[in-house]
């Protein structure tokens, strides 16, 4: 045995299991026994078969004769109905006061008279006014009926519709020989009428409307509409009229599912029809008993049956073999193996069940694949959300850590600033008193310079946590960026050229104070200038999108090593020497941006060497210019 890719165990090629032969032998024996039974039925006494055939033919003819009488019974019932309906309509039309009310245009009185006069009749009342409009009910009537009443006739007819069939009767209302209206009644043909016809004709009845829909049924079928569709004449529209071929009282034999019916179709009116049905299995229920009697008489032909069974065993085994082949191919994933039809009901039933099983299996596999696809999509979406959540959590932890460090540094700076001032005052006094001692003067000046550096450091740390008006602050970003660009160009070493350009929207406003924005851009610009050693192009790109103003500071320096990118905004982290920097520039810039509700980030450029620092601020109200426009402004000396 080998493992199939789907997990089933499949016999290896050329080595079928021994049980396969045993099962095959058993199946052939069962088929042979079935053949014996079949040959017994064929070899029964000829007289028994003749008697069986004659009785079956007689029963069939009796059922057909009974069904053929249904149209005559329907016609007789319809004739009686017409007489009764005409009598009812005539009685209502002769009600005292009705003609006068219609002649005088008193529709309300006429309506009341008709409703009272027709209260004892089973039909719903109809009333047509002098102008030909329907008063009861408000629905319009077929014009040919009104025309018939104007000629003095009393029409009774079937009016088919979509979803209903009604019997309408009218009688003219006359005054001094003048037609002043018409009255009558209407009733819907439904299941009650079908039940009455079924009892009269001793058959099952389906009454169809003008579209082939069932409006009344008296049948043992759980779904009368499906039964009606199954016994419909092939190619016929479902509408049968007077004189149509389907109305010629021809009896047809139709199979609907596993049930055989004798069907006779007759028309009630143009566009409406009645189907009379006989269930042959029920009507010929005595035939199985006769069949069993005939089979018992086949015992004398046992020897011949065994011989014939042996001959035809191979032919009977073919459907079983095709079923086994289909099962093997199904195990390999093939759902389309053909199944050979069989005349044996059990084998045919197994084949049908097997076919239903593999169709259901194919459907379940398709549903499983669709569910797996949806699950994969959900997993991908969940992974994306988890990744975004991790990024946000990392950023939140970073901000909390920086905030805690900043508060500690601010407290330390506040406590250190006063002792520094005192020490500086003392050193100033010593410097003045040692003016005649050059060496002492030199050391005093060096100490004062170092204290000044310490004072500048404390001011930077305090500036991070200095209160700012974040709600009412606003500035024109391009203007501040151009001012910073001028300062950066002016601070270059002699003999070197630094090209700083500002590219951005015409005039976006950000919710940040001008001095704070200038400090952030100066810190970023000075770092970029030092990275390029005062030479090369630098760009400050300004844009706005989605309610945010975005600034990008781009340089062409060596960039930032990837391993230190996560730490560039930490306090006192620097790649410069201790003489050139203390590592508070980016820390201060990040604190200022965060104070105004913005974001700052750093990365290396993808279009070549250099770094890119991106700053986002909320956009201030009243920003002018289009967000999508981009205009490049460069200083005249570049």
Burial class of residue 617, CB neighbours in 10 A (0-12, 13-18, 19+): buried
Using alpha carbons, list the distances in angstroms from residue 497 to 257, 488, 518, 563.
Answer: 95, 11, 22, 31
Q: Which residue matches tokens 């052939």? A: 28
Cα 595 to Cα 39: distance, rounded to the nearest angstrom? 101
Query: Residues 555, 607: contact at Cβ < 8 Å?
Result: no
3-class DSSP state of 367? helix
CA distances from 561 to 1, 115, 274 (A): 60, 100, 91
CA distance 420 to 448: 10
Chain mean position to CA 438 = 91
Orientation angle between helical segments 18-42 and 287-296, nearest 10 degrees:
100
CATH topology of domain 43-285: Beta-Lactamase (3.30.450)
Q: 259 has which bridge partners? A: 256
Order of all β-strands in the sheet with 214-218: 214-218, 204-208, 272-279, 259-269, 251-256
DSSP state of 12: P
Q: pLDDT at position 170, please?
A: 92
Q: Are strands 631-633 and 498-504 parallel, antiparallel or unpaired?
A: antiparallel
Fold (CATH) for 469-633: Heat Shock Protein 90 (3.30.565)
* Domain boundary assignment for the chain: 2-42+288-343, 43-285, 351-461, 469-633
DSSP string, 393-420: HHHHHHHHHHHHHHHHHHHHHHHHHHHH
Q: Report the chain (638 residues): mean pLDDT per 10 consecutive residues.
A: 45 46 51 59 60 78 86 88 90 90 89 88 89 78 87 88 84 90 90 89 87 86 86 55 49 86 83 85 76 66 62 63 73 71 72 81 86 91 87 72 65 70 78 79 77 68 60 84 88 80 81 89 89 86 90 90 84 63 76 88 89 92 45 38
Residue 10's pLDDT is: 43
- What is each CA distance from 614 to 128, 387, 429, 593, 617, in whole angstroms? 86, 21, 48, 11, 10
Output the pTM of the full model: 0.39
- The whole-number pLDDT of residue 329 equals 75
Q: Is the dihedral of CA 246, 247, 251, 255 positive or negative?
A: positive
| pLDDT at residue 172 in the model | 93
pLDDT for 534: 79
Residues, the chain: 638
- What is the C-alpha separation between 592 and 515, in angstroms, rounded? 11
Is the bond leading into 137 cis (omega within 30 degrees of zero)?
yes
Distance, in Å, from the CA atom of 602 to the CA atom of 611, rounded to the nearest integer, reads: 7
Q: 594: Cβ–Cβ under 8 A, 6 or more apart, which residues?
A: 399, 600
Nearest residue to 617 via CA among 460, 506, 476: 476
φ, ψ of residue 77 in degrees (nearest 5):
-65, -40
Return the structure tokens found at 189. 């043909």
pLDDT recorded at residue 285: 75
């Amino acid at each position: 045995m080998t493992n199939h890719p789907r997990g089933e165990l499949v016999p290896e090629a050329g080595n079928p299991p021994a049980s396969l032969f045993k099962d095959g032998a058993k199946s052939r024996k069962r088929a042979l026994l079935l053949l014996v039974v079949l040959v017994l039925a064929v070899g029964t006494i000829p007289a028994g078969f003749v008697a069986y055939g004659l009785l079956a033919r007689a029963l069939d003819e009796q059922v057909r004769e009974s069904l053929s009488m249904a149209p005559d019974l329907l016609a007789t019932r319809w004739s009686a109905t017409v007489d009764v309906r005409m009598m009812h309509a005539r009685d209502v039309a002769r009600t005292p006061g009705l003609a006068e009310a219609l002649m005088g245009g008193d529709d309300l009185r006429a309506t009341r008279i008709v409703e009272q006069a027709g209260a004892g009749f089973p039909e719903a009342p109809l009333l047509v006014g002098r102008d030909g409009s329907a008063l009861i009910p408000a629905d319009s009537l077929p014009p040919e009926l009104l025309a018939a009443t104007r000629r003095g006739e009393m029409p009774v007819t079937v009016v088919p519709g979509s979803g209903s069939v009604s019997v309408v009767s009218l009688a003219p209302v006359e005054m001094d020989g003048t037609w002043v209206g018409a009255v009558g009644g209407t009733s819907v043909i439904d299941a009650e009428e079908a039940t009455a016809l079924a009892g009269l004709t001793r058959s099952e009845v389906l009454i169809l409307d003008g579209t082939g829909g069932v409006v009344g049924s008296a049948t043992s079928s759980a779904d009368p509409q499906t039964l009606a569709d199954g016994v419909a004449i092939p190619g016929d529209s479902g509408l049968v009229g007077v004189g149509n071929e389907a109305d010629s009282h021809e009896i047809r034999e139709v199979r609907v599912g596993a049930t055989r019916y004798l069907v006779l179709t007759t028309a009630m009116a143009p566009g409406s029809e009645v189907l009379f049905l006989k269930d042959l299995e029920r009507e010929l229920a005595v035939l199985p008993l006769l069949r069993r009697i005939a089979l018992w008489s086949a015992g004398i032909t046992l020897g011949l049956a065994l011989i014939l069974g042996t001959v035809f065993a191979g032919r009977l085994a073919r459907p079983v073999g095709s079923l086994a082949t289909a099962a093997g191919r199904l195990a390999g994933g093939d759902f389309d193996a053909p199944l050979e039809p069989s005349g044996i009901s059990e084998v045919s039933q197994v084949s049908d069940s097997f076919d239903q099983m593999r169709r259901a299996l194919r459907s379940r596999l398709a549903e499983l694949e669709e569910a797996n696809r949806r699950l994969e999509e959900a997993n991908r979406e969940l992974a994306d959300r988890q990744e975004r959540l991790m990024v946000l959590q990392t950023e939140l932890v970073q901000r909390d850590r920086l905030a805690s460090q900043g508060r500690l540094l601010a407290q330390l700076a506040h406590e250190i600033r006063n002792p520094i001032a005192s020490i500086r005052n003392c050193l100033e006094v010593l410097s003045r008193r040692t003016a005649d001692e050059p060496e002492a003067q030199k050391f005093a000046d060096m100490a004062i310079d170092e204290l000044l550096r310490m004072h500048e450091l404390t001011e930077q740390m305090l500036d991070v946590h200095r209160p700012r008006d974040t709600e009412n602050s606003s500035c024109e970003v391009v203007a501040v960026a151009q001012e910073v660009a001028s300062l950066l160009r002016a601070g270059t070493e002699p003999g070197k050229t630094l090209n700083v350009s500002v590219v951005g929207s015409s005039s976006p406003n950000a919710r940040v104070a001008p001095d704070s924005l200038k400090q952030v851009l100066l810190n970023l610009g000075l770092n970029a200038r030092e990275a390029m050693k005062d030479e090369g192009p630098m760009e400050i790109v300004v844009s706005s999108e989605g309610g945010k103003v975005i600034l990008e500071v781009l340089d062409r320096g060596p960039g930032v090593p990837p391993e230190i990118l996560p730490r560039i905004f930490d306090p006192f982290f620097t790649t410069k020497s201790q003489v050139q920097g203390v590592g508070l520039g980016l820390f201060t810039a990040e604190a200022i941006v965060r104070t105004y509700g913005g974001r700052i980030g750093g990365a290396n450029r993808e279009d070549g060497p250099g770094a890119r620092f991106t700053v986002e601020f909320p956009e201030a109200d009243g920003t002018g210019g289009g967000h999508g426009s981009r205009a490049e402004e460069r200083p005249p000396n570049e």
